[in-house]
A and B are shown apart, each in its own frame.
Chain A
Amino acid sequence: MLSIKNLHASVEGKQILKGINLEIKAGEVHAIMGPNGSGKSTLSQVLAGNDAFEVTEGEVTLNGDNLLELPTEARAREGVFLAFQYPVEIPGVSNLQFLRTAVNAMRKHQGKDDMNAAEFMKLAKEVSKQVDLDPAFLKRGVNEGFSGGEKKRNEIMQALLLQPKLAILDETDSGLDIDALKVVSDGVNALRAPDRAILMITHYQRLLDHIVPDYVHVLADGKIIKSGGRELALELEAKGYGWLGVKDNTTASH
C-alpha cells in the first residue's frame, strides 16, 4: 500500500526528516512513537502534501503511484487521509457544507453521483453519532469553538465519511479524557479493514491499549531508530525513550 524510501524533508531550511524507510501493507496498523520534536507531524504533513515542507530526497508510493508528484487534493481523492494534530478553526464555513463538498469531490473522483443535501444530512447524522458528536455540530463553522476533544472526534468523523485507503492519525489521542479516548478508539477500530492501512502517530502508549497495532516504530531525530511488534510499545512505556538513547523532556508513559 504505502512505501516510503529514504525520505528526507526540511522546513524553512532546517532538515527534519533524515531518511525514513517504512512499508505498510493493506490491512495493517502501524504506530509511530517518538519524543516531541522528532518529526512525527512533519512526516504526516509531508504525506498529505503540505508544501510548507520540502522533500529533499527519497520517494513515497501509494499502491505503486508516486505520491509526491500529486497535489494535496489528488492525494486525498486517491485515499490519503490525515487526521490533524491541530485541526484549524474556520469560522463562517459550515461544517456540513464543507463535509458534503469533500464527500462529493471524492464521489466524483470515483465516478459516482453527487449526494444531495438530504441524503448527506442523513449520513452525516449517523456518523456523528458514531463518534458521539451532537449533530448540532454539523451546523457550526468548521471546528469553530470546538473543544480539543470535539476537534479530534470531528477528524475521526471525517475519516469515517471519506473512507480513505490510508488513514494517518496524528496524535488523535492527545488531549482526550478516558471516555473520549474510548469513543475515538472505537471510531478508529471501525476504520480497520483488510483493504485499508492505518498509520497512528502517538506520543503515548495508552492509545495502543485500545487500538492494537501490528507494528510499532520509534522515530527520533528524523529517523526510525527501532521497529518491532506491539511489545515494543510496552517496553517503551516501562523504560522510557532514554532506554533507546533518545532525549525526551516528557515521559513516554501516561
Chain B
Amino acid sequence: MKSASTLSSAFLQSAGQALPEPLLALRANRASALTDLLLPTRRTENWKYSAKHLKLTDEMASSLPLNASAGAEADIQGYTVVLVNGVVRPEASNYPALEGLSIQRFSDLNGDDAELAADLLGKSISDQPAKHGSINLSLLNAARFEDGLLIQLQPGTVLDQPLFVVHHTSASHSGSAFPCILVAAGSNSQLTLVEDYVSSGESPVMVNTATEFSLGDGANVTSVRLNTEGQNVQHMGTTGVRQQRNSRFESHSVGFGGTLRRHDLHVRLEGEGAECKLNGVVVTQGTQHYDNHTTIEHIAAHCNSEESYRNIAADKSHAIFNGRIHIHQDAQKSNANMSNKNLLLTNGAEIDSKPELEIYADDVKCAHGATIGQLDNDSIFYLVSRGLSPRDAKVLLTMAFINELVAQIPVEQVRDTANTGLNQFFDQAFQEV
C-alpha cells in the first residue's frame, strides 16, 4: 500500500497579483494552514472514485498567466464579466451601473468592501468535511486566489437580466487557475448568476473554483453553472450557500465530462422558511469522469429542499452522485426531497449513486430515491419501426430522461448551449456504424 502523500509546497505559492491587505492576510493564513494537506487517495471517503484521476504535477502548481487576454466568449447578450485564468478582465466585461448593484474585482476593493470580502471568503465552504475523513481540495482556492469578484446587491435590488460570469482558462502551458466569486445578496434582492466555465489550449491544467453566496432575508438567487471545458482541464469546483429567513436559492448545473470534473455544492438553510432547489444534469462519454457531491444542511425549522440530479454515462465513462442531507436537531418541520436518476448507455460505463441522510429532528419529511437504468429496447424498436433512425430514437429517449431538467434552466442562452453540447454528445454516443 502506497502511503498518502502531501500536497507539493509549490501549490501554496501565489503569483503576486496586487490585492488589498485583508485579502492578502487571509490568503497567507489559509496557505499556511494547508502545508500538511494530504492528497486524497481512493481510501479517502469523498474521493473514493476520483482520486485516481487527480494528477497534480509540479508544472501545474504555478498560476497560469495573470494577464492573458480574453477569447471570443464575449459574444454573450447581456451583462457579462470575464475572468481569464482567474483574473477579472474589465476590458472584456460589460455590466450596468445599476443602483444598488456593485460588481468589483478583488484588486480594486478597499475599506469596508475589502473587509467584507475577507469576512465572506470561505464562510460557506470552511473545513466542514474534515470530520468525515474527507479531504477538501477546494480549500486550495482560498490559499491561492489571485483575483476574484465581489458582487453586492443592496436590499431590494433586482437585476433585470442574468449576469454571466465567463471563466476562461487559457491552457497554453501547464498551470492552475483559482477563480473566486463572492455574492452578498441583501434582503429581498434578486439575481440570476450564470457561471460559464470554458477553456482553450491543450496543456494539462487545474481549475479550482470557489463561489460563495450569502442570501439575506427573502433574497432570491438563481445560480446556473455550465461546464464545457476541454478534456485537459482537471476541474474542482465548490459552491457554498448560506440562506437566511425566507430566502430562495435555485441551482441549475449542466456538466459535460472531462479528465476530472468535480463539483461540491453545499447549501445551509440557516433561517426559517428558507428553501432551495438543486438541479443537475451530467453527461459523460469516452473515459470521462464527473463527480457531483451535494450537501444540504437543514439548520433552521420550516425549510424546504428539493433536489434532482440526472447522470447519463456512455462508453467507459464514470459519473458519480453523492447527495447528503443533514437535518439538524432544531430543524423541525423540514421538508427534504432528493432524487437521483441515472442512465447507462453502455455496459462499460459506470455510475455510482450514494444518498446520505443524517436526521436529528423528529418532525420532518424526507424522501429520497435513486435509480439506474438503460434505454428500453422495446421503446427503441417501437420508434425505429416508424422509420426513425436508431440514433434519433435513442436521442428522443435520452432527452426524455433529462428534458424536464433542461427545460427548467431559466436562461435561454444556457439551454441552447446545453442542447448544442448534448447533440455533440449524442453524435458520439449514438454513432451509427
Contact = CB atoms under 8 A, between A and B. Distances in A.
A247 interface: no
A50 B381 CA distance: 7
Contacts of B390: 71, 73
A71 B390 CA distance: 10
A81 B387 CA distance: 9
A87 B387 contact: no
Interface in B398-416: 399-401, 403-404
A9 interface: no
B404 A92 contact: yes
A98 B377 CA distance: 16
The interface size bin for chain B is: 20 to 34
A82 B397 CA distance: 20
Contact of A90 (B379, B384, B392): B379
B377, B381, B401 — most chain A CB neighbours (10 Å): B381
A49 B378 contact: no
B342 to A, nearest CB: 15
A76 interface: yes
A102 B400 contact: no
B389 interface: yes
B382 A92 contact: no
A91 interface: yes
Given A76-B385, A76-B387, A105 B392 contact: yes
Interface string A80-100: 011010011011110001100
Contacts of A50: 381, 385
Nearest to B404: A92
Nearest to B403: A92
B358 interface: no
Contacts, number: 73
A142 to B, nearest CB: 8
Contacts of B376: 88
Given A84-B382, A87-B382, A90-B382, A105 B388 contact: yes
A93 B387 contact: no
B131 interface: no
Contact of A158 (B384, B386, B389, B404): B386
B383 interface: yes
Contacts of A239: none
Contacts of A106: 387
A147 interface: no
A81 B26 CA distance: 71
A93 B383 CA distance: 10
A73 B396 contact: no
Given A90-B400, A91-B400, A73 B379 contact: no
Nearest to A103: B387
A48 B380 CA distance: 13
A72 interface: yes
Contacts of A98: 383, 386, 388, 396
Contacts of B404: 92
Interface string A196-209: 00000000000000
Contact of B384 (A76, A81, A142): A76
A101 interface: yes
A98 B400 CA distance: 11
Interface string B177-204: 0000000000000000000000000000
B388 A101 contact: yes
A72 B401 contact: no
A8 interface: no
A50 B382 CA distance: 9
A109 B389 CA distance: 11
Interface in A63-78: 71-73, 75-77
A92 B385 CA distance: 19
B201 to A, nearest CB: 39
A77 B387 contact: yes
Interface in A29-86: 48-50, 52, 71-73, 75-77, 81-82, 84
B402 to A, nearest CB: 9
Contacts of A87: 382
B389 to A, nearest CB: 6
Contact of B389 (A73, A75, A142, A162): A73
A84 B386 CA distance: 11
B393 to A, nearest CB: 8
A49 B387 CA distance: 12
| 7 closest residue pairs by CB, A with B | A92-B400, A76-B387, A102-B386, A105-B387, A72-B384, A93-B400, A93-B396
24 contacts: A48-B381, A71-B390, A72-B381, A73-B385, A73-B388, A73-B390, A75-B385, A76-B385, A76-B387, A77-B387, A82-B385, A90-B382, A90-B397, A90-B400, A92-B404, A98-B383, A98-B386, A98-B388, A101-B392, A101-B396, A102-B383, A105-B386, A105-B387, A105-B388
Given A109-B387, A162-B387, 9 more contacts: A72-B385, A75-B385, A76-B387, A84-B382, A88-B378, A93-B397, A101-B392, A101-B396, A141-B400
